[in-house]
Structure 1
Amino acid sequence: MRAERLDLADFLESLDRRDWQARSLCPGWTVHEVLAHLTLSPRETVGPTLVRVARARGSFDRANADWARELAAEFSPADLLAQLRATAGVDHRLALSGALDPLTDILVHGQDIARPLGRRREMPPARVTPALEHVWSSVFYGRPDKRFNGLRFIATDAQWSAGEGSSEVRGPIGDLLLVASGRAAGLANLTGPGVEDAAARMQRRRRAAAA
């Protein structure tokens, strides 16, 4: 977790002024706001978070988005980068969060930033593998193991596979993590007879969430 946060901070140092205002893969969030969100993990506590969720009419996602926008309005990218570095080794998370949630958050949001900018950010299999294993059966991520029932996902650059069935989805483990966490951008680097089915299921889930 600490290494991934520091690596991301190094990567973000290369962004220019226009990059910070670009849209990320997170709908409605700028790159600046995604960075602001990433500084939340070490500072979130149950009480204030529940208050924000109540104000957001029960939506944890909306509460997080509002908080990220507030921080982005208050702090410059340079300030937020300093905060990210200062808290890189802080292993703090909300109650009920899993031990691998902070690492997963950094890995996925790092791609939320990099890919729309046309930048390449490595996703080391040694870090991604435990995160994907965690996400695969996580209720927070909508239980990918249930959502992709009947498809078999296979990493081509790591010793990881999951799911049952003859319809395979193959690709780099970083892209499998993006798909498991609901990012359609990960589909571009995947191959196999199950990719089209996986894409259709993701689209149905997005439509249901927007309804």
Structure 2
Amino acid sequence: MSTSTLDALVAAEFTALADALEPLGPDRWSADSLCAGWTVAHVVAHLTMAARYPADRFAAELAADGYDFTRTSDRLAAADGTLLPTALIADLRSDTMASFAQPGGGMAGSLSHVVIHGLDVTVPLALGRVGADEAAAAVLDQLVAPGGRTVFGVDTAGLALSATDLAWTHGRGTPVAASAAELILALAGRQGGARLVR
């Protein structure tokens, strides 16, 4: 996939997520997400950290937590999850998020981040997958790229995975057919994803 295509997909996924969440009332933002202990607002706050924390400020926040990324993420999500939905939507639509490359993962990492966390909020809100098929297929490819286990450690050996709503297949063995959203969630180790039964 070309750099320009990847850049365009990342920007479009952030816009699609903003479009899906913008009409929702405040009560929906306090609903549980698929990330344990986090509401929809917490996940969106986490997803858009780069819009509020330039590299130097985030480095200072990380240093304050002894360079424990999980602790910093949890703390900032808890704090910024109290922001108004309009502010979080503005962050989703920001130029910063549209062009932000994940440290160590680049724009491919950013695409995976927005697609997976997008599903973490849209699926429990019964909105389904709101992004593009091309983005979902690219993230599925990333998830299974290491081989017998996904980047999240999910075992895929002996499974023939296929998406029912787009042209994507992977592996050999016991057939597992599910929507792209269900496969992404399962391969990312989330509850509510497809059942990977051999």
Residue 127 (structure 2) aligns with: 119
SS at match of 2:141: helix
Measured in 2, the distance between the counterparts of 1:39 and 1:2 equals 13
2:177 counterpart (170, 174, 199): 170
Residue 107 (structure 1) aligns with: 115
Residue 167 (structure 2) aligns with: 159
SS at match of 2:130: coil
Shift of 1:87: 2.4
Shift of 1:120: 3.2
Q: TM-score, normalised by structure 2?
A: 0.79
Q: Which runs of 5+ in 1 are unaligned?
A: 198-211
Contact 2:163 2:180 in 1 (8 A): yes
Q: After the TM superposition, which segments of 4 or more aligned residues of structure 1 sit over 6 Å from their partners?
A: none
Shift of 1:31: 0.9
The alignment status of 1:82 with 2:90, answered yes or no, reads: yes
Q: Cα RMSD (Å) of the superposition?
A: 2.7
Contact 2:48 2:97 in 1 (8 A): no
Measured in 1, the distance between the counterparts of 2:81 and 2:11 equals 22
Residue 205 (structure 1) aligns with: none
SS at match of 1:184: coil
Residue 196 (structure 1) aligns with: 197
Shift of 1:47: 5.4
Percent of aligned positions that are identical: 29
Contact 1:44 1:94 in 2 (8 A): no
Query: Is 111-120 or 175-184 further displaced after alignment?
Result: 111-120
Shift of 1:153: 1.3
Residue 7 (structure 2) aligns with: none
Shift of 1:59: 4.0
Measured in 2, the distance between the counterparts of 1:196 and 1:169 equals 8
Residue 35 (structure 2) aligns with: 26
Shift of 1:93: 2.4
- Map Cα deviations across residues 174-200 of structure 1 (whole Å, 9 max, x no partner): 22111111112122xx6xxxx334xxx
CA gap 1:94/1:107 in 2 versus in 1, 3 angstroms? closer
SS at match of 1:170: strand
Residue 38 (structure 1) aligns with: 47
SS at match of 2:36: coil
Q: Report the AA paired with residue 141 of structure 1.
A: V
CA gap 1:45/1:152 in 2 versus in 1, 3 angstroms? farther
CA gap 1:143/1:163 in 2 versus in 1, 3 angstroms? farther
Shift of 1:94: 3.8
Which structure 2 residues correspond to residues 44-83 of structure 1 after superposition, within 5 A? 48-49=57-58, 51-53=60-62, 55-56=64-65, 59-73=68-82, 75-83=83-91
1:179 counterpart (173, 177, 186): 186
2:152 counterpart (139, 142, 151): 142
Q: Which runs of 5+ in 2 are unaligned?
A: 1-9
CA gap 1:157/1:117 in 2 versus in 1, 3 angstroms? closer
Q: TM-score, normalised by structure 1?
A: 0.75
Higher relative contact order (CA 8 A, sep 6+): 2
Q: Report the AA paired with residue 158 of structure 1.
A: L
